[in-house]
Structure 1
Amino acid sequence: MAKESARQRRITGRVMHEFKHGELRSGRGGKVKNRRQAIAIALEEAGESKYESPRRNKRNLRRTERKEAEGRTGQQEREGQSRVGASGRRESTRAMGGRNARKSTARGRKAARSRARRSGGPTRQELYAKAKKRGIEGRSKMSKRQLENALRLK
C-alpha cells in the first residue's frame, strides 16, 4: 500500500472526529457506533481502502474532496459552515453573511438582535423604492442592510 498523503490523513482524521462526536452517519442516516466501521469509512473516503481497486479509491477520494468543498460533511453541517473550501465563494456561516449556512451561530444571533434593536430610519420597502428609482441592480434579493449600503454607495 502506498504512503498516505497529508490530505488523506486529514480526511481520515476528520471522519474519526465525526465518529467520536456522534456525527458520522452511514447508509440512510444511521449513526455509526462501531469503531471498526468508522475506520473502514475513513479509509474509503480517503481513497486508501485495501478492498477497493486503485481506480475506485481515486474516485472515492475525489468524491470526498467535492463533499468537503460543498460543506456536506457532518462536522461542517453542525458548525454551519456550508461553503468552507468552495472556490470563489468564501461564505461560511450566517454571521459572515453566508446564505447557505444550515444553522445560525451564537455570533449571528447576537448580531441579528443588535441590528433589530437599532430601530428608526426607513423600512426595507422604503429603501427598495429608493433603489428602484436609482436603478440599482439586484435590489430584490437584497436585505435591508444591503439596500442601505447600496444606496449609500450610489
Structure 2
Amino acid sequence: MPKKKHKKWSRHVTETSNAMDLEKDVFRSHDPEEIARSLKHSAETSDRRKSNPFRSAMSMLNFYINRAGRNLPRKQRKVLEDAKGELRRDFGRDPK
C-alpha cells in the first residue's frame, strides 16, 4: 500500500489566499520588532488583502501561531506573541 502524502493546507492557504504577500521566512525571525515591521510592510504594500492593513497583518500572525500549534517551540511562540504588541505599536494602536 502506497504512503499517503500529507498536504499542508495551512501552507496552501498562506500562498494562495487573498490574505497578503509575505516576506520569505518572516515567522522564523527571533526578533519581534523585525517580524512586526515585515508584516506591516507586507500589509501596506500587498494588493492581495481584503481588509485594512492592521487587521490583515494581525490575522496572518494569529493564523501562523494557531497553525504551528504544538510544533512551535515555547521560545519562538513568545517571540511571536511579543510581535503582536510590536505590531499594535507600529500601527499606533494601544499595545496590551
Q: Same fold (TM over 0.5)?
A: no
Higher relative contact order (CA 8 A, sep 6+): 2
Scaled by the length of structure 1, what TM-score is found? Answer: 0.25
Scaled by the length of structure 2, what TM-score is found? Answer: 0.34
Q: Which is helix-richer, 1 or 2?
A: 2
In terms of Rg, which structure is larger? Answer: 1
